Amino acid sequence: MSKPRDPVAGPDSPEPPFPIRLSGPVIKGFGRGSKDLGIPTANIPADDLSEKHPELTTGVYYGVVALDPKTYHHETSEGSTSTAVVLPAVLSIGYNPFYKNTVRSVEIHIMPALTQPSPTAAGQEGHTKFNRLPDFYKTRLNLLILGYIRPEFDYVSLEALVEDIRVDCEVARESLLREAYKCYIVDSGKTSGKVSEDRAWLVSFD
């Protein structure tokens, strides 16, 4: 039995090099996320990252995303909105050692709003149902990476990989619920200059 993982990752507020801004159109991956794992991941090109942050190690990270509302219509109780909605995310940057990819990919799993119950919480009945939205291929996605969780691993089984990603979702959620991270999702009106700037960038799609 492996030892339990820490419930949160990273310091109490983002420290350099975070937040890291990444942006790109959602592209096709290998089609394994949903089909093999039951975990959809929006893939975006990795070129931008290699250019601007060559030092960033491969691994699993958490952050916040926004989708271009011109092509992605987010339904709320008030109907669809024209402003981008900011949602929590967990992502993997690397070569997916379990699948032995030869090219580096950036794959983002978008989680439900922090105000909603977590579908990946421990002790749920049956097997975990990860968050699923209507497809949004080709939509522009803006991402702020806020913290690092762990390196990428190879696994003895698909089930072991899925279970670790489930825990990643919970670690990301708990980490983002901290005040200095939550302010990137929920605009409390009290946010400082740099946070407001990053948040404004996140929801801007020209």
Ligand X SMILES: Cc1cc2nc3c(=O)[nH]c(=O)nc-3n(C[C@H](O)[C@H](O)[C@H](O)COP(=O)(O)O)c2cc1C
Ligand Y SMILES: Nc1ncnc2c1ncn2[C@@H]1O[C@H](COP(=O)(O)OP(=O)(O)O)[C@@H](O)[C@H]1O
Residues that bind ligand Y (CB under 6 A): 26, 28-34, 40-43, 108-110, 131-133, 135-137
**Binds ligand X (CB under 6 A): choice among 90, 145, 176, 202:** 90
> Site for ligand X (CB under 6 A): which residue of 22, 49, 60, 176?
60
153 interacts with ligand X by CB under 6 A: yes
- Cβ 29 to ligand Y shortest distance, Å: 3
Tokens of 146: 């806020």
The Cβ-side half-sphere exposure at 66, using a 13 Å CA radius, reads 23
Q: Are 180 and 18 in contact (CB under 8 A)?
A: no
Q: Report the alpha-carbon distance of residue 189 to residue 66 in Å, rounded.
A: 19
Catalytic site includes residue 107? yes
Q: 17-52: buried (b, 16+ CB within 10 Å) or exposed (e) per residue?
A: ebbbebbbebeebeebbeeebebbbbbbebeebeee
Closest distance between ligand Y and the C-beta of residue 43, in Å?
4
Q: Which residues are catalytic?
A: 107
- Interface contacts to ligand X, rule CB under 6 A: 29-33, 37, 41, 43, 60, 90-92, 96-99, 107, 109, 152-153, 161, 165, 168
